[in-house]
């Protein structure tokens, strides 16, 4: 006699309360092993695979791709001990479950191919016996319900989401990718060519928005960023100071390092080394404010966040213990986190716990900015583009590589003298890298 167990969407940690189903990894009738990933979901922080703590036969799935579910909502039901498609009975080894319902919170025998994610608050789902409901007819993401199913040559969940949010039927598109694969550009081109009445139909009833407008849901990464920036502006009395610096010697030092034949060193890594050295001299800026206790908490480690632009929006991955890494180690970690950011594979742990942020907005071709502090941190260093400019060097006018540096800081943790001292030290290291070597 098979026991049917219900597996609910687990607590994914870091205060996340909901997730969107991006892709089902199993079908009704599939046999699953304990801790096998069964669904890929997207939270406000990352895409993660969710493993099932039970082994058996999938009897039902709850929610189609594109559906947003709250934590604790049913995901699947699994019949433990049931025969699979007339085959031998599945052993009831998963009846108790692994107790591990988060990615990275599984048995020690879990395959190495799985992406491992640690949660701050692992919480096993409850086991209950329920009647297995009949499986619902599948609905293709990006395809309105009620239309006959058909193969849609699209792989990217981002493309499916874009089509779904704009009420676009993917089956009506001709993909420009290999073997007719529908790309994001195909969807965007279709949306640009949509009639104004079609776009206006997406507006809610009674909306006063003009014809041709469309509404973009403020959710996922964009929604999380909006919430965090709003909170930062509400809670943090920030101030910004800035200075121009001659980066010619820093660029020469980097060129010399990269000409030595060893691993290439990134400019971001050198700036990170300067940041960690500056924070060691001005620890007030490597801190956070505990409002409840009315205390400033200064950290003895530097978990350095850096801004990265991706298709999912702006994210801030965190380099753990940046103060303990050399330029080569920082370069490698920046490269790794940038790659997984672009692939949408950042874990919640990759995106939280930062104590200071380095924002290189110069990659966008701009000189300066007054960024909003990454709450609950106390400061952010901004770096503009490095370009040739007239500069007085050793008493003479010359063309030098000049960069604008800006520091936005929480005025509760320090006054302008400390902030100015930090920024001046950073500028001195940029202008004369030997300053950094003397203080290490």
Tell me: the pLDDT tens digits for 54-68? 999 999 999 888 888
Contact (Cβ atoms closer than 8 angstroms) between residue 331 and residue 306? no
CB 17 within 8 A of CB 348: no
How sure is the predictor about 210, in pLDDT bands with cuts at 50, 70 and 90?
Answer: low
Alpha carbons 321 and 300: distance in angstroms, whole number: 10
The percentage of the chain sitting over the pLDDT mark of 70, rounded to a whole number, equals 74
Distance CA 434, CA 428 (A): 9
Q: How far apart are CA 218 and CA 229, in angstroms?
A: 13
Task: Tell me if residue 186 is catalytic.
Answer: no
Q: Check pLDDT > 60 for residue 208.
A: no
Residue predicted with more confidence, 326 or 121? 326
pLDDT tens readout for residues 24-35: 999 999 999 998
Overall size of the chain counted in residues: 440
Among 17, 20, 6, 16, smallest CA distance to 74 is for 6
Single out the residue of 241, 279, 264, 268 nearest to residue 439, CA to CA. 279
Calculate the alpha carbon distances from 430 to 32, 343, 383 in Å: 56, 32, 11
What angle in degrees, to the nearest 10, is found between the helix axes of 248-258 and 267-281?
120
> What is the pLDDT, as a whole number, of residue 251?
96
Among the listed residues 11, 186, 415, 428, the single catalytic one is 415
Torsion of CA 31, 35, 38, 39, to 10 degrees: 180
What is the b/e burial string over 52-83, where b = at least 16 CB atoms within 10 angstroms of the residue's CB?
bbbbbbbbbbbbebbeebebeebbbbbbbbbe
Cβ–Cβ < 8 Å for 102, 115: no
Name beta bridge partners: 397: 392
Between 193 and 140, where is the model more confident?
A: 193
Q: Are 134 and 27 in contact (CB under 8 A)?
A: no
Residues 88, 78: Cα–Cα separation, whole Å: 16
Give the per-residue pLDDT at 182: 82
Residue 216 pairs in a beta bridge with: none
Question: Between 272 and 227, where is the model more confident?
Answer: 272
Residue 238: active-site member: no
Percent of the chain with pLDDT over 90: 47
Quick: pLDDT tens for 105-131: 333 343 333 333 333 333 333 333 333
User: 184 phi and psi, to 5 degrees?
Assistant: -60, -40
For 339, the 3-state DSSP assignment is helix
> Which one of the listed residues 290, 321, 343, 411 is annotated catalytic?
411
Of the candidates 100, 77, 71, the one whose C-alpha atom is nearest the C-alpha of residue 10 is 71
Would you state the pLDDT for residue 197?
Answer: 41
Distance CA 44, CA 205 (A): 28
Query: Does 385 have pLDDT greater than 50?
Result: yes
Residue-wise pLDDT for 155-196, tens only, equals: 566 677 778 778 888 888 888 776 677 877 788 888 877 544
R_g of the chain computed on alpha carbons = 26
Q: How far apart are CA 134 and CA 128, in angstroms?
A: 18
Instruction: Give residue for tokens 């699953």.
Output: 32
The answer on pLDDT for 104 being more than 50 is no
Backbone angles phi, psi at 40, to 5 degrees: -105, 125
The whole-number pLDDT of residue 147 equals: 42
């Amino acid at each position: 006699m098979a026991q049917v167990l219900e597996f609910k969407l687990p607590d994914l940690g870091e205060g996340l309360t909901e997730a969107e189903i991006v892709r089902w990894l199993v079908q009704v009738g599939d046999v699953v092993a304990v801790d096998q990933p069964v669904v890929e979901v997207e939270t406000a922080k990352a895409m993660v695979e969710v493993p099932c703590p039970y082994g058996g036969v999938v009897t039902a799935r709850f929610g189609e791709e594109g559906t947003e579910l709250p934590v604790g909502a049913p995901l699947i039901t699994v019949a433990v001990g049931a025969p699979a498609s007339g085959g031998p009975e599945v052993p009831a080894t998963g009846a108790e479950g692994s107790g591990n319902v988060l990615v990275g919170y599984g048995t020690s025998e879990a395959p190495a191919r799985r992406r491992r994610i640690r949660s701050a608050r692992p919480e096993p789902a409850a086991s209950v016996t329920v009647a297995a409901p009949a499986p619902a007819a599948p609905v293709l993401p990006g395809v309105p319900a009620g239309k006959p199913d058909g193969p849609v040559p699209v792989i990217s969940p981002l493309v499916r989401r874009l089509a779904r949010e704009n009420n676009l039927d993917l089956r009506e598109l001709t993909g420009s990718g290999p073997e007719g694969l529908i790309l994001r550009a195909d969807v965007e081109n279709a949306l640009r060519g949509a009639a104004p009445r079609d776009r206006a139909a997406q507006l809610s009833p009674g909306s006063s928005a003009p014809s041709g407008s469309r509404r973009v849901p403020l959710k996922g990464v964009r929604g999380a960023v909006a919430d965090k920036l709003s909170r930062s502006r509400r809670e943090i009395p920030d101030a910004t100071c800035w200075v121009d610096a001659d980066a010619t010697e820093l660029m020469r030092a980097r060129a010399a390092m990269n000409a030595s034949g060893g691993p290439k060193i990134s400019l971001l890594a050198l700036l990170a080394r300067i940041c960690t050295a500056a924070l060691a001299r001005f620890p007030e800026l490597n801190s956070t404010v505990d409002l409840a206790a009315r205390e400033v908490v200064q950290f003895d480690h530097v978990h350095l966040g850096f801004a990265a632009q991706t298709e999912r929006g702006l994210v801030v991955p965190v380099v753990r213990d940046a103060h303990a890494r050399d330029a080569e180690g920082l370069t490698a970690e920046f490269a790794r986190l940038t790659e997984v950011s672009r692939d949408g594979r950042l874990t919640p742990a990759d995106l939280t716990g930062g104590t200071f942020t380095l924002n290189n907005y110069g990659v966008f071709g701009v000189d300066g900015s007054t960024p909003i502090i990454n709450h609950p941190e106390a400061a952010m260093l901004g770096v503009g583009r490095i370009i040739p400019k007239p500069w007085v060097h050793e008493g003479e006018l010359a063309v030098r590589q000049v960069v604008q540096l800006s520091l936005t800081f929480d005025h509760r943790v320090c006054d302008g003298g400390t902030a100015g001292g930090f920024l001046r030290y950073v500028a001195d290291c940029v202008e004369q890298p030997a300053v950094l070597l003397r203080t290490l």
